[in-house]
Amino acid sequence: MPQILLVLLHCLPGQHHPCISLPRPQIFVLRYDHRLSGQQLSTKVSLSYQSQTVIPKDSLHLYRLEGHQSETWDVVYIKMNVYPVEELLNSLKSPEDVMSVLFSPKEEFQAELVMDRAPFAAGGFKTAHHASLIFEEIDDDSDDPKRKRYSNLVGKRPFMPTGKPGGKRRLAFPKEVEEVKKEGLGHIWASTLLDWCMAWLRGRDTPLPAKIPKLSYIPACFVRGTPRRENASEGCLLLEHRIYGTFVKYINNGAAHPVDASVDLTDLLQFLVFVQHWQFWKTGGMAYTSDFQGNEHELTDPQIMTHP
């Protein structure tokens, strides 16, 4: 069943498509045709204006589209907390112990998740969707439950590339849970290692040679549940607060030096390089955080390097 949306389309500054000229925003019809074959989901996209002009799919990245369709999920979620590093190290008897502690059913909370079906961005192995979380919380004054809604969230869900250009296939639910838990564990470790470094700096007796930036990993939680639609399958994702401002890749996971040493970010980049070296030193070469990315104060999507 196709999804038909009315969208407001703008040409991005400095970008033009030879098939169409848009001196001002125009109303277009955006059509999604979804086809599910086994675990493989394919989507055909077309954009038309008064049934006369069609922009090919490979040109849609030149435009910003305003319009979406969301759906509600019944979910349980577990917050990704920052732990003292000693507490986290003490849980390392086995990988199973770590997962059972960090993702314990005792820490689950029920909620409703409202999330866009179509992603607003996609990387090599994850799609990103606008989302909101709705849950009940006991009011301190009346002791009555009140519904609260956290908006401006981003749901990140893994996929498997199909080998075709832009092709994506959702993972089977057990595999999806496993992959999201790995992402969550990396997020917890990165938050803990960064907090450990910050605490060490704050405890120094001697003056620091430079101003320390205010940095933290974006709050996140592990979510699993089922959309409220017929024959919907269970799904799992990592839910984070949305990062605003300019998104920058500071240090990649393939080298221990900045991706772009621009003048405005020199101090921050030098500090992140220091954080990597400090973590490598303090863990005796066992682990450090890489893939630093985000804005000037909030980071996301870390990688923990254990075999540099």
Binned at pLDDT 50, 70 and 90, residue 259 comes out as confident
- Distance between CA 129 and CA 121 in Å, rounded? 7
Cβ-count burial of 115 within 10 angstroms (0-12 exposed, 13-18 middle, 19+ buried)? buried
Q: Where are the domains of the chain?
A: 3-67, 71-305
Angle at 174 between CA 168 and CA 176, to 5 degrees: 35
User: What is the tens place of the pLDDT at every residue in 105-160?
Assistant: 677 889 999 999 999 888 889 999 999 999 887 666 666 778 888 889 999 999 99
Which residues lie closer than 8 Å to 71 by C-beta, 6 or more apart?
114, 115, 117, 227, 228, 229
SS3 state of residue 43: strand
Average pLDDT, rounded, for the chain: 78
Q: What is the pLDDT of residue 264?
A: 61
pTM for the structure as a whole: 0.72
- Alpha-carbon distance of 45 to 54, in angstroms, equals 10
- In this prediction, residue 24 carries a pLDDT of 44
Helical H segments across the chain, by residue range: 85-90, 95-102, 173-202, 266-282
